[in-house]
Structure formats: C-alpha cells, structure tokens
Structure 1
Amino acid sequence: MKILHCPLNGPRNISEFIYGGELKTMPDPATCSDREWADYVFYHDNLPAVVTEWWFHSASGYWFLAERHTLTDEVLRTFDPGELFRQRVEFAHAETPS
C-alpha cells in the first residue's frame, strides 16, 4: 500500500488523494492567447525531475502541494500552499450574454 503524507491529516492511503497537476505560473486569463491558456491547462514538460504538484485529499477537501521526483515517484515533502501563496486571487465574474 502506498502512503502519502497529508500536511493536514497525516499519513493516508494514496487512494484518498486526487492528483491536481503541476504547479505552474498562471497566465493572465484576460490577456493571454488561447494557445497560452491551453499550454497552461493541458501541457507539461514531463521530464524526470523534482516537480511541485497539487494534490487533493478527497476525504477532507484539502488542497496541498507535494514535491515529487517523477522518475522515482518519491515524494520529498508535502506542504500547505500558504507557504507559497500569501493572498487569495480573486477573478472577475464573467457576465453571461442575455
């Protein structure tokens, strides 16, 4: 059984988690091209290296970050996103056409 350490809930079975993708710098959705947005949402380098990834603990609804080596699948550390992000990002509400 594979165990992943959740920063909030401690060591848990990997089946309780959902992979959320690599942590990447988000382009400005109001000014970026469709290609830039698609690259951000759908593509990643997939190189053998240590990457920072989003993970979701489904039982508690908690998002956190993990540093994982993609070649060995070793998780080097997990941590709360508050270590990197100090403020919440608010997006403008898009109005729907009537």
Structure 2
Amino acid sequence: MIINHPLLGPRDAAEFVYLGDASLIDRPDWQDKNADEKFYEYGYLRENPAGKHQELWYHEQGDRSWLVLTRDTLTHEITKVEMARDVARARGRSK
C-alpha cells in the first residue's frame, strides 16, 4: 500500500505505524465529572466499520509526522491524506 504523504510524496506503508481510529485526536477532558467513563470509552470502545474510515498513521521511518488517512477498509483505497495537526486544528483541538 502506498501512502501519499502531504509533505514527502508517495511512501510505502511499511514506513508507517497504524495507530487506529482518528477519533483518538478527540481526547476527553480529564477534569470532566464523568472523566473515568469517558476515558474508558476513549480507550476501549471502538467502531469496526466496513467501508470509508479515518485512521491515524505515524511516519516512524521518516519524518515522524502523524497523518489522518481516509481509507476504505474493504478495498484499502486511500482517498485522502492529511496532516493530523491540521485535522486537530480544524476540530478545535490545536494541541
């Protein structure tokens, strides 16, 4: 599988490490009164979709950047690759 890195161009997926669902960008607030429940859901409850899905990938053997890939889990076709920091900023999470 080839990942078209936004800064470096096409790269083999072997250079990357898959983390999981891109919703991990939206970490719960540790000060929330239900933080324990929200962190449990954040850490353990995941969707397992068939079809289009956003995923986090880490460029371990490259520039060490985090990417959000929109990928079809049935065909492995990648339709969009974005820098994770840009996705986080767009969601209002500029950390």
**TM-score normalised by L of structure 2:** 0.77
Corresponding residue for residue 72 of structure 2: 69
Q: Which has the higher contact order (CA 8 A, sep 6+)?
A: 2
Moved beyond 3 Å, runs of 4+? none
Give the unaligned 5+ runs of structure 2.
none
Q: Distance in 1 between matches of 2:35 and 2:82?
A: 32
Give the RMSD, CA atoms, in angstroms.
Answer: 1.9
Secondary structure of the 1:36 match is: helix
- How many residues end up aligned between the 2 structures? 88
Percent identity among equivalent residues? 27
Residue 34 to residue 51, structure 1, CA distance change in 2 (3 Å): same
State the partner residue of 2:55.
Answer: 53
1:18 aligned to 2:21?
A: no
- The amino acid that maps onto 2:16 is F
Hey, what's the Cα distance between the residues in 1 that align with 2:72 and 2:56?
14
TM superposition score normalised by structure 1: 0.75
Structure having the higher helix fraction is 2
Structure having the higher Rg: 1
